[in-house]
Amino acid sequence: MVDSAQQKTLAAFKKEVQVIVDDVEYDELFGYQLSRGEFFDEEAYEGLLIKLLTAYDWDLHAAEDSLEKILEWRKEFDPLSAAFVEDHESKYDDIGFITYDPNGKALEKVVTWNLYGKVKNAKEIFGTDDSDTAGQNAFLRWRVGLMEQSVQLLDFKSPENDYMVQVHDYKGVSLFQRDAQVKKTTKKVIEVFRDFYPELLSKKFFVNVPTLMMWVFNVIKPFVAEKTRNKFVVLSNGSDLVKHLDPKMLGAEYGGQVSKGTQSLKFLFKESKTKYTPYTAHLVGQRIASEID
């Protein structure tokens, strides 16, 4: 609920949004148009602004500053292209996917899975060394694309579905996988999510974390915003996940009812690249048309 003081802050933010959009020359956030054009959706727009204000404890200037940075980054990185236009290498298919249950529990309908324990050849996934920016960039573009696809499944008009769950499964992980390049790329992804995707996580689970590697959690935590840290749950046993999430959406290895493991989970969600907002459809169409030209 937004109280009357917050209503005033929201009204002031609304006045500033158009100025920021004009300054940055970018008019889209998470698939919604920010100025009052053909695709403008007042309710979703308000939901998004409330999210930004919530992320910064209703500090108007911090929220304005954040919006400006987010739009600048979106203009440059083009996450919609990473999600819906670009083809990513199939090597990423095994380490990340989305499950979506429109009838699932509130704030748990969208779950992004990252099976980083399955990475056996870290160099192949994360790049080879500092000079291999192509490798790093390919991973980052794929990971941001996955994030953006899951964001499009949220509904910023609904208190039931305006946050997502994320799961990292570290089954099979070894200390040797955490080389310099992995650390560097991980840090970059964490920063991108922290700065440009605020207030989207309901909970984040780290499962099958070997006792010997629990310390990694403490090393990474300082890079993450405090509000986000409070949403983290570390479980050494994957099967304990069922105590937190709906068994209908979980494979047997997580104590759930989906019989054939995570592979079959993927098939619960077939729409990841086909469900998006009308404005995203419009912008993606423009990008594809400009590629054909």
| Interaction site with ligand HEM (CB under 6 A) | 114, 116, 119, 143, 168, 170, 173, 177-178, 182, 186, 189-190, 193, 204, 206, 209, 213, 216-217, 220, 224, 234
**Nearest approach, Cβ of 122 to ligand HEM (angstroms)?**
6
What's the min distance (Å) between Cβ of 293 and ligand HEM? 34
Select 51 or 204, whichever has its Cβ closest to ligand HEM.
204
* Closer to ligand HEM by Cβ: residue 41 or 240: 240
Least distance to ligand HEM, CB of residue 192, Å: 9
User: Nearer Cβ to ligand HEM, position 33 or 181?
Assistant: 181
Nearer to ligand HEM, 81 or 114 (CB): 114
Identity of the residue, 30 or 170, whose beta carbon is nearer to ligand HEM in the bound complex: 170
With respect to ligand HEM, which residue has the nearer C-beta, 220 or 281? 220
For residue 149, the minimal CB distance to ligand HEM (Å) is 13
- As measured in angstroms, the least distance from the Cβ of 174 to ligand HEM is 7
| Rounded least distance, CB 232 to ligand HEM, Å | 6
- Show the 3-state SS of the chain: CCCHHHHHHHHHHHHHHHHHHHHHCCCEECCEECCCCCCECHHHHHHHHHHHHHHCCCCHHHHHHHHHHHHHHHHHHCHHHHHHCCCCCHHHHHHEEEEECCCCCCCCCEEEEECHHHCCCHHHHHCCCCCCHHHHHHHHHHHHHHHHHHHCCCCCCCCCCCCEEEEEECCCCCHHHCCHHHHHHHHHHHHHHHHHCCCCEEEEEEECCCHHHHHHHHHHHHHCCHHHHCCEEEECCHHHHHHCCCHHHCEHHHCCCECCHHHHHHCCCCCCCCCCCHHHHHHHHHHHHHHHC
